[in-house]
Homo-oligomer: A and B are copies of this chain.
């Protein structure tokens, strides 16, 4: 049994690169996690991989295959602990790595799946490979959907809002097209394409009959499953969920995108079922318009603080795109 080394700053940069590769697997890896892997020796990349469509082959297998020859003595960076369970669809990644004999395996985060959960790392160490479990934020973020499902039994929820500077989603009379510009709207369609499910309130369904599909050329087939928040029946082609606190009906979805309206946004926030806010902020003032978020039952201003941490801010055309993560995030 080898003593594990520590993850260096350079290790963390490679892990962040592996996490960026992992994101490429969204959403097609489902129901498997969107893992990324990079194999490095002497500062040179031998192979890269991410989980293939349908979940197989796994990222490690893709990266080993890309490396072609031997990966002896290399370091394998992988965002999630290599799986320890054989499957009809292929050998366990931990066994495959033991056979390929890298010198080190640096792992972004542990796999909570009870079939692996530490066994992947143990297998590597028993074989004399230096297996390092780094606590890597980039890896965790790239696997947020999988980790939320494993740990909380529900999808990772992003609430998307397109707002004026004064927080409105429409004029008082209802006019709402458009708040944001074409770049922001295209970006929203990309968010949709990376989601497994999309949800709006029953009021929005009745008022707007939204298609909620992906209207980006070549990505139309990534349109997510449509859900409506209602105690009633879902329209044809839709599914219904009655309560943001109970998303068990969304059995395989890793990522849910909530697109409004204001009462639906409030219902998810009040139930503390929003993991991420994705806010498109247009440089316009509406004044006395319709607010983007209805009453969330806040008892005092103090309660509102400490819940959200900005993780990204950038311009999309004239609009500002800001992302906030719920904090504290997932239970360890």
Contact = CB atoms under 8 A, between A and B. Distances in A.
Contacts of A297: 287
B288 A293 contact: yes
Contacts of A288: 266, 291, 293-296
A300 interface: yes
A285 B285 CA distance: 19
Given A165-B324, A310-B320, A266 B287 contact: yes
A239 to B, nearest CB: 26
A178 interface: yes
A283 B309 contact: yes
A178 B171 CA distance: 28
A175 interface: yes
B296 A177 contact: no
A84 interface: no
Given A166-B293, A287-B293, A310-B283, A301 B179 contact: yes
A271 to B, nearest CB: 12
A234 interface: no
A7 to B, nearest CB: 28
A159 to B, nearest CB: 9
Given A295-B172, A298-B171, A164 B284 contact: no
A108 B269 CA distance: 50
Contact of A300 (B175, B277, B292): B175
Contacts of A163: 166-167
A209 interface: no
Given A283-B307, A287-B297, A288-B296, 17 more contacts: A164-B167, A165-B277, A165-B308, A165-B324, A167-B291, A168-B291, A171-B300, A171-B301, A175-B301, A177-B301, A270-B287, A283-B309, A284-B304, A285-B296, A287-B294, A310-B318, A313-B320
Closest 5 CB pairs of A and B: A167-B167, A288-B295, A287-B296, A284-B304, A283-B308
26 contacts: A165-B167, A166-B293, A167-B167, A171-B298, A175-B300, A175-B301, A176-B301, A178-B301, A266-B288, A269-B285, A269-B287, A277-B285, A282-B305, A283-B307, A283-B324, A284-B301, A284-B305, A285-B293, A285-B304, A286-B296, A286-B298, A287-B293, A287-B294, A291-B291, A309-B318, A313-B313
